[in-house]
Amino acid sequence: MLFQTDNTLRLGAVLLVAAFAYLWFNLVCETVPDPYLDEVFHVRQAENYVKGNWHVWDPKITTPPGLYVVSYLFAIPWQASGLMQVDTTFFRSTNQVGAILLAWVIYQILHILYRNTNHDREDEGTSKDTGSTWRPTELAHAAINICLFPPLFFFYGLYYTDVLSAVSVLLVYKYFLVERHPAVIIAAGLFSLLFRQTNVLWVAVFLGGLAFCRAIPKGQQDANLFNEPTFLNILQASWRHASAYDPPISEASFEDYIKAGLSFAVAGVASGPDVLRPLGPYLVILGVFVQYVLWNGGVVLGDKENHVVSIHLAQMLYLWACFAFFSLPLLYPYLITILPNTTLPSALRLSSIKSRLPRALVSDCIMTIMLAIAYHNTLIHPFTLADNRHYTFYVFRILLRRPSIKYLAVPTYFFCAWAAVAALGGQNAYNQQPTRKKLSKQRRQGMAILPSSPASDLRVSFLLIWLLATAASLVTTPLVEPRYFVVPWLMWRLHVAPLRLDPPTTPSSSNRAGSGKVKGIVEKVLYSTHDHRLWLETVWLLAINMATGYIFLKWGFEWPQEPGSVQRFMW
């Protein structure tokens, strides 16, 4: 019965995503039948491959030819049958297949990450419905929402590399999770490099880092290890036992991330050559990529003058604002905890989240670093302010309107970053039962008492490796585009923990008075067993996609220097 339910949910999620993708694809092809913007280069290159002109390469194209090779393979049966003309519409349909594959792979990953954990806990004699993981219907709902991510959804209707690039990376991640044969991982990883060079950071560096962390025993399993997790004790224990300090994100303080990083480094040295064995597939992928760079004389294939590698640390500031915007329904419970409890509805006075707000000293140090980055390393690529068809043009117009604006934005970056990290750990702070005195105080204040079960098993090591791969993929480019945040967002979103709200034990006076049907509906949504944020996320993402889709299709304009050519706004 469980197997049948999983298949039904997976099929339903894939079909719904396919329907959304086809609707957008159809609207685009009806309104914009000719190649638009970079599609001109991509379609022309794909046409050359379909015609057998494998020696032709457009120097304006900077990414590898994986997209065109896939389109060529799709074109073979259509050309033979004569059922469909191989034109722009045909090439765009490649990403329709990509959308279906994306939904399928995402559901599979979510199933592996969460449903398997449920079964393991049930075998251990604990209830699988602990509130610490997603339920089956929530997995399907989350898979649909992830596929609606606007910078990705937009390109279901255009001929760009983003969709198949994301699919290829997630496929390798799935193989990593189920520990497929190294040869399969190598083949899938090299296939991913055919779509985008920066994929090497996810299929080799990110997964290689996770494999390294997975190969080192965790010190928490030894009762005599890390009883007093001072820096000295952790380093000594890591060297003596070749084990690492790796607490859950839900329990970690800022210092724990530093301790974990040092602990893994020491434990890795102490483990000797044995720790390198699981890294074999990822070292092979990385080695092949290095050979490609040496052969090509650089990372990009063409147009090297406008794609020069540079250090752009401000990208790691924009990342958090991007996450907060697109994932506001997921992060709002964390963001509002910076407000006084008296200003919040009782259901959202989440004491366990509020207790995890960063300490003043930590906040001041991190924001000082962010201010220094904003001052010294805010780079503006010529393309950013030269093309008013992209939304980033208008964002940077605002940021550069006054010199002070980029500094005033730093607290926003900081709290968005904190909320994004907190969402990975779930709702519980330190996984401790609240004391009777603390419970009494929470009840007097009308705070929601959240379940005391562990919110997430995600460890600090995951976040450290994710940050490393994300930084490596972003800070080397001066150009800011939402598309560059797609894979980092996907890896983050796949691991966001659920949030269960229990009604306050003592209703507030406003609750006793009642406020009609609207209040009843709101409470029903908030206290539903189905995480209410998923419904809010669906509405939010659909609203963004509808708005940007309408603007793209209906708000065309002309440049004076190109009369008769319609320009359109896009990501």
Structure confidence at residue 304 as a pLDDT band (50, 70, 90): low
Structure confidence at residue 225 as a pLDDT band (50, 70, 90): low
* Tens digit of each residue's pLDDT (9 = 90 or more) over 236-277: 888 888 889 998 998 888 999 999 999 999 999 998 888 889
Structure confidence at residue 561 as a pLDDT band (50, 70, 90): confident
Helices then strands, each counted (H, E), the chain: 28, 2
Task: Tell whether 413 is covered by a domain.
Answer: yes
The structure tokens listed for 512 are: 């006793």
Give the residue-averaged pLDDT of 385-389.
86
Helices (H), 59-154: 66-81, 88-92, 94-110, 116-123, 136-147, 150-153
Task: Tell whether 375 is covered by a domain.
Answer: yes
* Tens digit of each residue's pLDDT (9 = 90 or more) over 150-196: 999 999 999 999 999 999 999 999 999 998 999 999 999 999 999 99
Q: What's the whole-number average pLDDT of the chain?
A: 84
Statement: residue 28 has pLDDT above 90 = yes
**Residues 491, 463 contacting (CB under 8 angstroms):** no
pLDDT of residue 42: 96
Give the residue-averaged pLDDT of 488-515.
71
Statement: residue 558 has pLDDT above 80 = yes
Task: Tell whether 551 is covered by a domain.
Answer: no
Task: Tell whether 437 is covered by a domain.
Answer: yes
pLDDT of residue 454: 32
Q: List CB contacts of 516: < 8 A, sequence separation 6 or more.
A: none
> How many domains does one find in the chain?
1
Task: Pick the closest to residue 350 from 362, 365, 363, 335 (CA basis).
Answer: 335
pLDDT of residue 306: 61
Task: Tell whether 498 is covered by a domain.
Answer: yes
Task: Pick the closest to residue 90 from 6, 166, 20, 33 (CA basis).
Answer: 33
* Tens digit of each residue's pLDDT (9 = 90 or more) over 354-386: 667 788 899 999 999 999 999 998 888 888 888
The number of beta carbons lying within 10 Å of the beta carbon of residue 398 is 11
pLDDT of residue 525: 73
Higher-confidence residue: 123 or 145? 145
Q: What are phi and psi of 459, to 5 degrees?
A: -100, 165
* Tens digit of each residue's pLDDT (9 = 90 or more) over 326-341: 999 999 988 888 777 6
Task: Tell whether 359 is covered by a domain.
Answer: yes
pLDDT of residue 347: 63
The number of beta carbons lying within 10 Å of the beta carbon of residue 170 is 24
Judged by average pLDDT, the poorest of 256-265, 287-296, 350-359, 435-444 is 435-444
Structure confidence at residue 233 as a pLDDT band (50, 70, 90): confident
The structure tokens listed for 112 are: 């592996």
* Tens digit of each residue's pLDDT (9 = 90 or more) over 52-62: 999 999 888 98
Statement: residue 203 has pLDDT above 80 = yes
Q: Is residue 122 helix, strand or coil?
A: helix
Statement: residue 515 has pLDDT above 90 = no
Show the domain range for 378: 315-505
Statement: residue 131 has pLDDT above 60 = no
Task: Tell whether 141 is covered by a domain.
Answer: no
Q: 3-state secondary structure string, 230-248?
A: CHHHHHHHHHHHCCECCCE
Structure confidence at residue 540 as a pLDDT band (50, 70, 90): very high
pLDDT of residue 227: 60
pLDDT of residue 496: 92
* Tens digit of each residue's pLDDT (9 = 90 or more) over 84-103: 678 999 999 999 999 999 99
Task: Tell whether 145 is covered by a domain.
Answer: no
